[in-house]
Structure 1
C-alpha cells in the first residue's frame, strides 16, 4: 500500500512531529511505501493565487477552481502543486497530522488543501462524496488539542468534537471521495506530563496498527440526491444492500 503523510507543525520537537514520525515509521514497519510532506520544513506556500497557473483559461478574471482544471489538463500548474498532487494521487492512504488552531487546521495545512485538492481531478459538479475523485482511497487524521475531552460533547462548552472537525472530515476529505477513518485525538497535549504524552503516542502507534478495523465515518451518498442536489423522495431512493437482500 502507498501511504502519504502530511504534517503541519512549526516545532520539530513537538508532539505532532512525533506523531508524524510515528506515522511514517509505523507504516513502513508494516511494509507500506511511505512518503512524507512536512509542510513547515518544506517552506510550503499556503497562498492560492494566479501565480499557481502557467496558463490561463480566462486571463481577465481569476476563478481559481476553473483555472485548476485548465492547468492540470494543460500540465501548466505550479511545480510545487504538481509534486504534491502526484504524491496524493499515487497514495492509497492519506494521513494528516496537525494541532488544532482556532477550531481548525493550521493555515499552512489549509493552504495545502486549497492548492493541492484541485478541482476537476479531486472533485467537481456531482463528482463529490461517493462519486468524488478520491473514491477507493482512505484518509486518516491524527491531531492534537489543548482542550480536555470533557470540553467537547453534547452539552459541553465547545459542543461535539464532530462539529469542530466537520469542515475537514466531511467538507474536505469526505467531499472529495475518501473513506474517512475515525480520527485519533490527543487531548490536552501541551499541559500534561511527558509520561502521559508518551502513553498517548503509544496509543496512536497502536491505532496505526489497527486502521483496517477502525470505523469509517458515514458520509452522504449521491444516489439519495437529485441532479440539483435536493434530496430524493424516499420512494425514489435506491434500496440499501440489506433491503435488496431481504426475503
Structure 2
C-alpha cells in the first residue's frame, strides 16, 4: 500500500511540474533555485517527502527543490545537483508529500493546489532577494454607482496592475454591496450600554470590544485589518467624500479599532498600512490651484488625508488626482489608466506625505493636546508652516497634501 501511495504522489508531482512548464514558470531560472523564486516572498511551510523514491534524479529539477531538509538546514538553498545528492543522504524520516502554505507564496507562482496534509509542518524563514517582497494584500474601496464610469475603469486598472505584481486584491464596491451609510442603533446587536441616552461613538466602542457590531461592519473591518494597502476610489463631491463613502468611514472606523486618544496619528492602529486617494473631479485642475476659483486642492484634501487617514495611523501616499474627467478625450483617458497602472507597479516603495508627528504635541487633556513649547520655539524662525493644518499663521507648504517632501 505504501508503494502504491508513493506512485500516486509521484504522478501528482509530475502533473504539477507539467503545469508549471505550461504556465511558463521555470523551476530554476538563472542560477536561482525554485524556492528562491517561488517562495522567496515570505515564510513557506514545507514537508519532507513521503518516500525516498521522490529523491530520484528524475524529480530533482523540481520536486526536490520544494522539500524541507530537517537535518542540514544551512545547505537548503544550494544548487539543484548538490541538493539532490545531499537529500539522498540526509533525509531520514518518511513523512507526507511537500506542502506549501499558499498564503505565503507569490500569486503568480502558485501551484495547481495544495498537496499533502497540514499536520506536522515545519516553518522556515526564507531569504528575500532584492526586488522581492512578502505577499501583500490590497483593499480597494470604490464609491461610484456606475460600471461604465471612469472611476470603475480606474478600479479595474488597479486590480489588474496589482494582481500582475502578485498582490492579493479585495474590492469593496459600496454600491454593489448596497452598503448602508447611516449610523444607527441597528449597528449594535444585543443590549445598549445606555438605552435612555444613546451615544453612538461610546456604544460602538463597547460593541466592538464585545464583538456585537453588525455583520456588515465586521466584514469591512476584517478587510481593513487584512490589508497592507488601501485605495479609495471616488469622485470628488461637494469638495469632499461621496455620502456612501463618508458613511462607510463613520460606521467602519469605530473607536479602538481605528483610533483612540492613546494611539492616534503616527501611533494609530493603521501605522503599518499605506493608503492612497484616487479621485476624479468635474472641474479642471486650474480651478483647484492657488489662483483658481475653487481654491487650493491641498486645503480640500486636508480633512480627508489628515483628519481621517493619518489620524488613524495610515501612511498617506500622494493622491492620484484626475481633473476634469468629463472633458477628457478617450485617448487621453487611456493614457491616464496606463499611468495609474505604471505607478501601482511600485506603489509600496513610495514615501508618504509629510505630517506633523504626534511627538510634537502634549497628548493629554490637561495640556489641551497643544503643540509643545519647544517645538513652537523651533518653528518660530521658519518661513512656512508645518502643514496645511499646522500652518502656525504662516504660508502653507507648497503642495503639502499632493507631493511628498523631497
**Alignment TM-score > 0.5, same fold:** yes
Larger Rg: 2
Residues 1:39 and 2:174 are matched in the alignment: yes
Aligned length: 238
Cα deviation, residue 146, structure 1: 1.0
Q: 2:198 aligns with which of 48, 62, 65?
A: 62
1:8 lines up with 2:148 in the alignment: no
1:118-160: CA deviations, max 9, x gaps? 1111102132101111111110111101111111222221121
**1:162 shift after superposition:** 1.1
Q: Is the 8 A contact 1:28 1:34 kept in 2?
A: yes
What is the CA–CA distance in structure 2 between the aligned matches of 1:236 and 1:148, rounded to whole Å? Answer: 38
TM-score by length of 1: 0.92
Aligned partner of 1:173 in structure 2 is: 309
Does 2:293 correspond to 1:147? no
Question: Residue 360 of structure 2 corresponds to which residue in structure 1?
Answer: 224
Kindly indicate whether residue 269 of structure 2 is the aligned counterpart of residue 129 of structure 1. no
Gaps of 5+ in 1: 239-247
Cα contact 2:273–2:314 (8 A) shared by 1: yes
Q: Return closer, same or farther for 1:214/1:156 CA change in 2, 3 Å cut-off.
A: farther
C-alpha distance in 1, partners of 2:376/2:155?
A: 45
Confirm or deny that 1:184 pairs with 2:317. Answer: no
TM-score w.r.t. the length of structure 2 is 0.57
Structure 2: tracts of 5 or more residues without a match: 1-135, 379-406
C-alpha distance in 1 between matches for 2:267 and 2:349 = 24
CA contact (8 A) 2:287 2:293 kept: yes
**Deviation of residue 83 (structure 1)?**
0.3
Q: Which residue is 1:81 aligned to?
A: 217
Q: Deviations over 1:36-86 (max 9, x none)?
A: 110011101000111100132221222211112111111110000000000
Cα pair distance change 1:203/1:75, threshold 3 Å: same
Alignment equivalent of 1:234, drawn from 359, 366, 374? 374
More strand by share: 1
Runs of 4+ residues deviating >6 angstroms: 235-238
Bigger relative contact order, structure 1 or 2, given CA contacts below 8 A and separation 6+? Answer: 1
Looking at structure 2, the residues matched to 235 and 14 of structure 1 have their Cα atoms a distance apart, in angstroms, of 47
